[in-house]
A and B are shown apart, each in its own frame.
Chain A
Amino acid sequence: QFTRDTLKGHSRPESSSRSAFLDQRDTLWMRRLLCSDEMVAEFSQMLDWSDSALRSFAWHPHTDKFAVALLDDSIRIYKSNSSATPTLKHRCQRSVCALQWKPLCGSALAVACQSCLLIWHVDPTSLSTRPSSGCAQVLSHPGHSPITSIAWSPTGSLLVSASPVDTGMMVWDVAAESAVPLQRVGGGGVTYLSWSPDGSRLLAATPSALFRVWETRMWTCERWPCLKGSCQSACWSPDGGCLLLSMQGERVIYALTFSDLTGMNNNTYGPPFLFSLSLSVGGEVCSLSWDPRGERLAVLLKGDSQAVNHPSVIAVFKTRSSPVFELLPCGFVMGEAGAEPRFMQFHPHFQHGALLTVCWSDGRISHVPFYFSSAGLLGGDSPQQALASNTADHSSNKLYTEQIS
Chain B
Amino acid sequence: MFSLKQNSWFIRKVVIWRAVASIAWSVLLLPVTTAVFVLLSRFSLFHPIQWISDCTSLLAASSTIFSLVVLCGVVLITGFFNLEFYTLVPSIPCSRMALLGTVLHPRQCVHSLVYCTMGMLVMWCASVTIGGRYSTLGTTCRQSESGEVVTCLNEYHLFILLAGAFMGYSHSFLGVVQNMYYVSFQPIQQYKYPRFKGCLPMVVKCSVIQALYSARNFAAFYFFFGYAPKTWISSTLNLQIDSSLQPLDSLTGLLDLSLLYHLSISGTFLYLTWYLTVLLFRIYVTEAYSFPVQSTFTEDAEQSLPKVLAEKNTLVMKFLALQDLALLSQHSLSRRLEVFSLSQPGGHAHNWNAISRECLSLLSELTQRLVAHQDAVASNGRVKSQSASSDTRSASSSSSVVSGTEDIAETPRLSVPLRTPGSVFKSSVGGANSALTAPFTPDVDSPFSSPAIRRLVGQQDPQSPCFGTVQSPHIMRRGPKPWSASTESQSSGSPPASPATVPSPPAASQKPSFLAQWLQNRREQVKSFLAKRVLIMYLFNKLPEASSQALFADSQAHIWALQGLSHLVAASFSEDQFGVVQTTLPNILSCLVVLLEAVDRHFKLPHASSKPVRTICSMGDSTYKTLRFLLRAVLKTTIYKITTTFGEHLNAVNISTEHRKRLQQFLEFKD
* Chain A residues proximal to chain B, CB less than 8 Å: 60, 62-63, 104-107, 124-125, 155-158, 171, 173-178, 180-183, 199-200, 216-220, 263-266
Contact = CB atoms under 8 A, between A and B. Distances in A.
B334 interface: yes
Nearest to A176: B626
A252 B332 CA distance: 36
B519 to A, nearest CB: 47
Interface residues of B, number: 36
B330 A155 contact: yes
Contacts of A60: 669
A171 B637 contact: no
B188 A104 contact: no
B669 A219 contact: no
A200 B330 CA distance: 10
Nearest to A177: B626
A266 B189 CA distance: 15
Given A63-B669, A176-B623, A219 B641 contact: no
A364 B432 CA distance: 73
A178 B624 CA distance: 11
B194 A219 contact: yes
B440 interface: no
B187 interface: yes
B333 A125 contact: no
Contacts of B42: none
Given A173-B630, A175-B634, 15 more contacts: A104-B636, A105-B633, A106-B666, A106-B671, A125-B670, A155-B330, A176-B626, A176-B630, A178-B187, A180-B186, A180-B187, A183-B197, A217-B189, A220-B194, A264-B333
Contacts of B331: 200, 217, 266
Given A105-B637, A171-B187, A178 B333 contact: no
Contacts of B623: 176, 178
B614 A171 contact: no
A176 B330 CA distance: 21
A183 B641 contact: no
A218 B189 contact: yes
B198 interface: yes
A156 B637 contact: yes
B246 interface: no
Q: Which of A173, A175, A218 has the most CB of B within 10 A?
A: A175
A183 B198 contact: yes
B194 A105 contact: no
B632 interface: yes
Interface string B327-341: 000111110000000
A348 B330 CA distance: 22
26 contacts: A60-B669, A63-B668, A105-B636, A105-B637, A106-B640, A106-B666, A106-B670, A106-B671, A107-B671, A124-B671, A125-B670, A156-B637, A157-B187, A158-B188, A173-B630, A175-B629, A175-B632, A176-B623, A176-B626, A177-B611, A178-B623, A180-B187, A217-B331, A263-B333, A264-B333, A265-B334
Ranked 4 nearest A-B pairs via Cβ:
A175-B633, A104-B640, A106-B669, A176-B626
B188 A219 contact: yes
B626 A180 contact: no
A154 to B, nearest CB: 10
Contacts of B187: 157-158, 171, 173, 176, 178, 180
Nearest to B641: A104
Contacts of B186: 180
Nearest to A199: B330
Interface string B597-634: 00000000000000100100000000100110110111
Interface in B163-210: 186-191, 194, 197-198
B572 to A, nearest CB: 16
Nearest to A62: B669
B644 interface: yes
Nearest to B626: A176
A175 B634 CA distance: 9
A62 B331 CA distance: 23
A181 B201 CA distance: 11
B332 A266 contact: yes
Contacts of A173: 187, 630
Contact of B634 (A157, A177, A217): A157
A157 B198 contact: no
A63 B668 CA distance: 8
Nearest to A178: B623
Nearest to A264: B333
Contacts of B188: 158, 171, 180, 216, 219
A263 B191 CA distance: 21
B365 to A, nearest CB: 21
Contacts of A124: 669-671
Interface in B626-671: 626-627, 629-630, 632-634, 636-637, 640-641, 644, 666, 668-671
A110 B630 CA distance: 16
Nearest to B624: A176
B190 A219 contact: yes
A104 B626 contact: no
Q: Which of A105, A176, A182, A219 has the most CB of B within 10 A?
A: A176
A174 B633 CA distance: 9
A183 B611 CA distance: 28
A174 B644 CA distance: 22
A155 B637 contact: yes
A180 B198 contact: yes
A40 B448 CA distance: 56
